């Protein structure tokens, strides 16, 4: 067999291997692209962070914001111990003051199971940074809280834990910090 024939034969044997690796790289890139978040972190105006005095929470005893930031106890989210409240007050009217008004609409969609305005809503939140308590994959799901004036998803999210949701977390800084909250057990939002 001539040298040229051997070279052709070896190159034909390498071609399927090269094609396989090229497809593998393309597939990994497509998967990565589908997992990324499209929205850049949007600054939140000071007026949006100010609690609305009409929506004070008689149901929740909330921890200070400093305790919800990652730090020495990264990965642990402080529990919010509900105080005893009459059943009449245990509705979503008693949502925490730190939640923006748009969160009510998002919670309503979560309770109804959709339809959601963003394709990522309801997708699995992977907790890559470990800022929420460790759970099995698929336990947490994320939902967009609309930010008025933006033409993209913005930075505000509600992350739920469990199916149906048993835990609720809010972030206004695109997963840098979370605040745990509870919704009323009686009425749906």
Active-site residue set: 142, 174
Round to whole Å and give the CA distance between 100 and 155.
12
Q: Chain centroid to CA 71: how far?
A: 20
- Strand intervals (E) in 66-134: 81-82
Helix ranges (H only) for 60-101 are: none
- Dist. CA 92–CA 57, nearest whole Å: 10
Distance CA 37, CA 149 (A): 19
CA–CA dist 126, 135 (Å, integer): 9
The partner residues of 33 in beta bridges, in order of sequence, read none
């Amino acid at each position: 067999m001539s040298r040229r024939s051997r070279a052709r034969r070896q190159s034909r044997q390498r071609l399927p291997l090269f094609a396989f690796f090229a497809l593998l790289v393309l597939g990994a890139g497509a998967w990565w692209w589908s997992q990324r978040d499209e929205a850049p972190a949007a600054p939140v105006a000071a007026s949006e962070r100010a609690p609305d005095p009409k929506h004070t929470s008689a149901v929740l005893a909330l921890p200070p914001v400093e305790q919800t930031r990652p730090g020495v106890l990264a990965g642990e989210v402080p529990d919010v111990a509900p105080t005893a409240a009459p059943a009449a007050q245990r509705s979503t009217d008693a949502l925490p003051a730190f939640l923006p008004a748009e969160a009510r609409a998002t919670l309503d969609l979560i309770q109804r199971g959709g339809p959601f305005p963003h394709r990522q809503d309801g997708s699995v939140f992977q907790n890559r940074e470990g800022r929420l308590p460790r759970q099995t994959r698929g336990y947490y799901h994320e939902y967009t809280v609309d930010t008025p004036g933006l033409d993209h998803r913005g930075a505000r999210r509600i992350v739920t834990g469990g199916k149906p949701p048993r835990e609720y977390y809010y972030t206004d800084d695109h997963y840098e910090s979370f605040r745990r909250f509870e919704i009323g057990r009686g009425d749906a939002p």
